[in-house]
Structure 1
Amino acid sequence: MFKNITDSQVTITELMLPAHSNFSGKIHGGYILNLMDQIAFACASKHSRHYCVTASVNRVDFLNPIEVGELVTLKASVNYTGRTSMVIGVRVEAENIQTGEKKHCNSSYFTMVAKDDQGKNVKVPGLILDSEQSIRRFSRSIARQEQAKNRSTTFKSTEFKMDDHLELLKNHNAQIAI
């Protein structure tokens, strides 16, 4: 079975309150991460029609601070489907409700796994790729998976070759004492 990407897309908008702020008066990054995880769950569950769990989060860069009183909109879309997993793209934007100015605050990729009632992984519907953008996003997810496999192999303790990396460390804020 295959589903259209638009069938599972989810958008939420929330007003940022003082209770969501950190000590510097900006919205706490942990609060935004919590919202991102919630919308990734909603999108993945909507696509798979099963309970889903977060397997990993690929890079979250906080590009712009979010202010108390701004409207934050999170958009989630299925970018990739494997056998039992999905990559959910999440985009966060903040809007100043007085000026209407919008800013991109961050984007991230959540790998979610569908589970059955016994907690076992369950097959998910595939994606219908109906645009160049959907093909680009699906392909990018495949490339990210390959990069992650290569990273984990290169730096696995049984595979790591220290001498291959010593030259690299010379230009960084570290002192080798072994």
Structure 2
Amino acid sequence: MKTSFKPSSDSRISISELMKPSHSNFNGKIHGGYILNLMDQIAFACASKHSEAYCVTASVDTVDFLNPIEIGELITMKASVNFVGNTSMVVGIRVISENIITGTIKHCNSSYFTMVAKNDVNESVVVPGLILRSQIEVRRFLKAIELIKTKRTRHKEFNDKDFSAENYLHTLEAFKVKVEF
């Protein structure tokens, strides 16, 4: 039976995996697409654990590749539900790598996945609320609210039927772009 509120700690997940040559790109670094695939898996597990339902990825925001990951490094991904809406959750993910010989640790990636809980007939279902038990959890929740507001504003502004590029020509002058229409 689903509870009406759950602490973030109940659905936190951490996974670790050794990076192999088969995960690398043509430059000998771990392929970003492979890391994104792992991040999507941990976001799914974290959101499903919180919602007690199957979850789908609705969006991925602010994927920041901060440092390359080398073959032979151990990556650890940590995920937590940072925000809940009615049927959706924002899962924050942090990726660190560790050189298992030297012990050097790098923060490699952070991202936010919006996940939606679904039932057996693919309808969105209500998710439990979130109990915030620390300053960090409150900060993460508030940051997620700001990310959502920014996304809504961006979508509204640039998807609006009244959008006119002429209103933005002065902004475009600062970039390496040529507008011809």
How far did residue 55 of structure 1 move? 0.2
Q: Does 1:119 align with 2:107?
A: no
Structure 1 residue runs without a partner (length 5+): none
1:136-162 superposed Cα distances (whole Å, 9 cap, x missing partner): 111111111111111111111513122
Q: Which amino acid aligns with 1:64?
A: N
Structure 1 position 73 matched with structure 2 position 76: yes
Residue 60 of structure 1 corresponds to which residue in structure 2? 63
Which ranges of 4 or more aligned residues in structure 1 deviate by more than 2 Å?
none
Identity %: 59
CA contact (8 A) 1:153 1:159 kept: no
Does residue 137 of the first structure (1) align with residue 149 of the second (2)?
no
Cα distance in 2 for partners of 1:32, 1:8 equals: 21
Q: 2:100, 2:139 → 1: CA distance? A: 33
Residue aligning to 1:173:
176
Q: Give the Cα–Cα distance (whole angstroms) in 1 for the partners of residues 172 and 20 of structure 2.
A: 43
**Is it true that 1:19 corresponds to 2:45 in the alignment?**
no
Determine helix, strand or coil for the equivalent of 2:78.
strand
Comparing 134-143 with 152-161, greater Cα deviation is found at 152-161
**8 Å Cα contact 1:94/1:104 also seen in 2:** yes
C-alpha distance in 1 between matches for 2:112 and 2:131: 19
Structure 1: distance between partners of 2:50 and 2:162:
38
- Following the alignment from structure 1 to structure 2, what is the Cα–Cα distance between the partners of residues 62 and 100? 21
> Which of residues 161, 169, 172 in structure 2 aligns to 1:158?
161
Q: Distance in 2 between matches of 1:157 and 1:44?
A: 31
Matched, 1:48 2:51: yes
Residue 149 of structure 1, aligned match among 148, 152, 165: 152
TM-score for both structures, normalised by structure 2: 0.96
Q: The residue matched to 1:94 in structure 2 has which SS? A: strand
Match for residue 103 of structure 1 among 101, 106, 124: 106
How many Å separate the matches in 1 of 2:109 and 2:141? 19
**Matched pairs, number:** 178
Secondary structure of the structure 1 residue equivalent to 2:108:
strand
Please state if 1:3 is matched with 2:6. yes
Distance 1:118 1:12 in 2: 30
Q: CA RMSD in A?
A: 0.8
- Whether the 8 Å contact between 1:21 and 1:27 is mirrored in structure 2 is yes
